[in-house]
Amino acid sequence: MTRKLLTNLSVDCVIFGFDMDQLKVLLVERKLKSDDGKSIIFSDHSLTGYHIYEDEDLDSAAIRIVNDLTGLENLKFEQFYTFGSLDRIAHPNDQIWIEQFGDVISSRVLTVGYYSLLPNTNMNIIQKGRKVNWFPVDQVKELAYDHKEILEKALEHLRYKLQNEPVGFNLLPEKFTLSQMQKLYEAILGAKYDKRNFRKKVSQMSYVVPIKEKQQGVAHKPAQLYIFSPEVYEKTRKERNHFFI
C-alpha cells in the first residue's frame, strides 16, 4: 500500500555539530537544472526536512527524514518551535522548486522544528541523491524557504538551553579538555571568555570531573581531560539557579 504524504505539514531538523573549533549545521543542497540538464536554474541549501506521512507521528518523521537524507541513525531529537508564516514558501525559487512535485506540497505548509546535537562532524554521511555537508553556523547567509529563520530560532533555543541545562556536553566527546569546552561556549554564544575566569567558573561545576588521563598525540603539552557526570549534576541540580553565568 502506498503511504500518503500530508501536503501541508512537514518536519525540519537542525543538526548541530561541533568540530572542536566551530559550531556547524548540516545542510542539504537544493539544485534545480533545466529540462535538458545543461544549465542550473538555481542552487542553494536547505535544512534536513520533508513532509510527514499521514500514518506516522512527528518524532518518527524526524528520525526517518534525517535518515533518508543522510543515513544517520540513533540521533536524539528535541522539538523546539512550529513555523507557519503565510510567506514561508513564497520566494520565486521556492515556487519553482515546488512546481516539480505537483500536488505533493500545499500552497500553505506548517513545519515543526527539531534539533539534534552531535559531538563531532566526522559522522559518516551517506549521500542519497542530494549532497549533504557541514557548514559553519556563523557563515550561513541564505537558505531555502524560511530555513534561515528556523536555524536562527534553533540557535536561540540552544543558547538558552546551554545556560540552563548541561546540553553542551552532547556536543563534546566523552573526554574533553577545558579549552575545548571554552571553545564550544564561545562558538554557541558568540562571545569570548577570559581563560582564567572561564576556568574559575568551571571549577564551581562539581559535575565537570577531572580524570586520571591527559591528551595523547598532540604537538603541545597534553592537557588534563574531564568528563561530565550526570549523577553529580542531578544531585546538585537544586542548588543552582542557572547552569552557567
The confidence score (pLDDT) of residue 17 equals 96
The confidence score (pLDDT) of residue 222 equals 85
The confidence score (pLDDT) of residue 244 equals 56
Report residues of the chain scoring pLDDT below 70.
1, 239-245
The confidence score (pLDDT) of residue 229 equals 95
The confidence score (pLDDT) of residue 130 equals 86
The confidence score (pLDDT) of residue 245 equals 45
Could you give the CA distance from residue 173 to residue 120 in angstroms, rounded to a whole number? 7
Could you give the CA distance from residue 128 to residue 132 in angstroms, rounded to a whole number? 9
Q: Kindly report, residue by residue over 102-122, the tens digit of the pLDDT.
A: 777 888 899 999 999 998 888
Which of the 8 DSSP states describes residue 18?
E
The confidence score (pLDDT) of residue 202 equals 92
CB of 180 closer than 8 Å to CB of 186: no
CATH numbers and ranges of domains, the chain: 5-162 (3.90.79.10), 166-239 (1.10.10.10)
The confidence score (pLDDT) of residue 44 equals 94
Q: Kindly report, residue by residue over 167-214, the tens digit of the pLDDT.
A: 999 999 999 999 999 999 999 999 999 999 999 999 989 999 999 999
The confidence score (pLDDT) of residue 171 equals 95
List CB contacts of 11: < 8 A, sequence separation 6 or more. 49, 50, 51, 52, 58, 61, 62, 65, 111, 112, 113, 114
